[in-house]
């Protein structure tokens, strides 16, 4: 019998079009949006538990992060009016449409909360804005994972179940890191706990995603994506350990641990972005999973027929 030929695409070209997004803009948008959303949740918790310095600092950092995130998105779109045009309709089945409306609702709330916190005025509006920003915060932190997984990019779509958990945990790590950098140790206990939980969650979700992806997980372990994700794991784990052990002992070790967590979260987003591009450029990662799924389907049909 003639051996089965190895697959290759037409003239070796990619089967699907690799993402045309700018890594700096969109991966930065993923990271900054996550930092803003999780930071608003942490700010609301700090306000409720009597940690005014932490609450004020996280409100201001969340406003700055969401502002930079929106600027990165608009820059990648090319023209500012394109973002405005996305608000002409609301399409629940489109992650980009839902995300645009989320940003439009979250941004003013985060801005009002930060302004009230800095001026110390309008406490009722401050409470309302803080609660609204915290309500939208988890969606802001995680919807970009749905946006990426809704594409045909193998490394993103194949991990559509785990990617939101990865992004949420990474966002929590970033917010905890920011809190450790900007707040005094006497108020940062919740951030230290969040850092440990986020590190455990991110490592667990990434491991589950790689297990589900099968051969496509090579893009998460090799090349630029693999290097960034390995660095992210080291930075996040070391940062969380430093926060747990030394974060309450002084401003310097707390700030260093926070910086490691922030850097780890950024590396996670840029690593996942790079892995997605690599998986789209190699035809084997597009056809391989399709063949495996087809083989499983045929095997299940044969087994069902044999048992009848």
Q: So what's the pLDDT on residue 11?
A: 56
Q: Biggest alpha carbon distance in the chain?
A: 82
Mean pLDDT along residues 171-194: 93
Q: By CB neighbour count within 10 A (0-12 exposed, 13-18 middle, 19+ buried), where does 105 fall? A: middle
Place of tokens 């996305």: 86
Q: What is 23-283's CATH topology?
A: Formate dehydrogenase/DMSO reductase fold (1.20.1630)
Mean pLDDT along residues 193-218: 93
- Provide, rounded to the nearest whole percent, the portion of the chain with pLDDT above 70: 87
Mean pLDDT along residues 23-46: 93
Q: So what's the pLDDT on residue 284?
A: 75
Q: Which pair of tokens denotes residue 211?
A: 């297990």
C-alpha–C-alpha distance, residues 53 and 58, integer Å: 9
Mean pLDDT along residues 143-158: 89
Q: What is the separation, in whole angstroms, between the first and last Cα of the chain? A: 32
Mean pLDDT along residues 62-70: 92
60 pLDDT more than 90: yes
Q: How confident is the model at residue 168 (pLDDT cuts 50, 70, 90)?
A: very high
- Provide, rounded to the nearest whole percent, the portion of the chain with pLDDT above 90: 57
5 pLDDT more than 50: no
User: Residue 277: which H helix or E strand, with range?
Assistant: helix 251-281
Q: So what's the pLDDT on residue 288?
A: 60
Sorted by where each begins, the domain ranges of the chain are: 23-283
Q: Flag the least confident range among 108-112, 131-135, 212-216, 238-242.
A: 212-216
Place of tokens 């051996």: 3
Inter-CA distances, 247 with 37, 53, 200, 259, 267, Å:
23, 16, 17, 12, 22
Residue of higher predicted confidence among 201 and 14 = 201
Share the mean pLDDT of the chain.
Answer: 86
C-alpha–C-alpha distance, residues 229 and 292, integer Å: 26
Residue of higher predicted confidence among 248 and 268 = 268
Q: So what's the pLDDT on residue 13?
A: 64
Q: How many CA atoms lie within 13 A of 151 on its CB side?
A: 22
Q: So what's the pLDDT on residue 267?
A: 96
304 pLDDT more than 70: no
Q: So what's the pLDDT on residue 259?
A: 96
- For residue 222, which phi and psi values (nearest 5 degrees)? -120, 165
Mean pLDDT along residues 8-31: 76
Q: How long a stretch of residues is the chain?
A: 308
Cβ(25)–Cβ(144) below 8 Å: no
Q: Flag the least confident range among 198-207, 248-257, 282-291.
A: 282-291
Mean pLDDT along residues 131-159: 91
211 pLDDT more than 50: yes
Place of tokens 């779109």: 77
Q: How confident is the model at residue 49 (pLDDT cuts 50, 70, 90)?
A: very high
In order, the DSSP letters of 31-45 are HHHHHHHHHHHHHHH
Mean pLDDT along residues 271-290: 82
């Amino acid at each position: 019998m003639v051996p089965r030929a190895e697959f290759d695409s037409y003239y070796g070209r990619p089967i699907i079009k690799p993402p045309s997004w700018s890594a700096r803009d969109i991966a930065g948008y993923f990271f900054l949006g996550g930092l803003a959303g999780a930071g608003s949740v942490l700010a609301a918790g700090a306000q409720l538990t009597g940690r005014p310095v932490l609450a004020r600092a996280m409100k201001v950092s969340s406003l700055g992060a969401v502002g930079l995130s929106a600027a990165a998105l608009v820059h990648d779109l090319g023209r500012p009016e394109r973002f405005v045009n996305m608000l002409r309709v609301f399409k629940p089945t489109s992650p980009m449409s839902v995300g645009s409306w989320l940003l439009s609702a979250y941004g003013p709330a985060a801005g009002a909360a930060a302004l009230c916190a800095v001026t110390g005025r309008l406490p009722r509006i401050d409470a309302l804005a803080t609660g609204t920003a915290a309500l939208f915060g988890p969606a802001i932190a995680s919807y970009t994972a749905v946006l990426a997984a809704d594409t045909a990019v193998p490394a993103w779509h194949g991990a559509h179940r785990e990617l939101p958990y990865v992004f949420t945990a990474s966002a929590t790590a970033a917010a905890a890191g920011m809190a450790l950098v900007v707040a005094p140790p006497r108020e940062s206990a919740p951030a230290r706990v969040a850092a440990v939980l986020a590190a455990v969650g991110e490592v667990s979700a990434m491991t589950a995603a790689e297990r589900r992806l099968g051969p496509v997980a090579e893009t998460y372990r090799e090349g630029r994506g693999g290097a960034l994700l390995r660095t992210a794991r080291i930075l996040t784990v070391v940062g969380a350990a430093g926060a747990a052990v030394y974060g309450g002992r002084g401003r310097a070790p707390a700030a260093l641990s926070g910086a490691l967590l922030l850097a780890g979260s950024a590396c996670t987003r840029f690593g996942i972005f790079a892995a997605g591009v690599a998986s789209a450029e190699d035809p084997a990662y597009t056809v391989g999973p399709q063949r495996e799924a087809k083989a499983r389907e045929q095997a299940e049909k044969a087994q069902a027929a044999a048992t009848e």
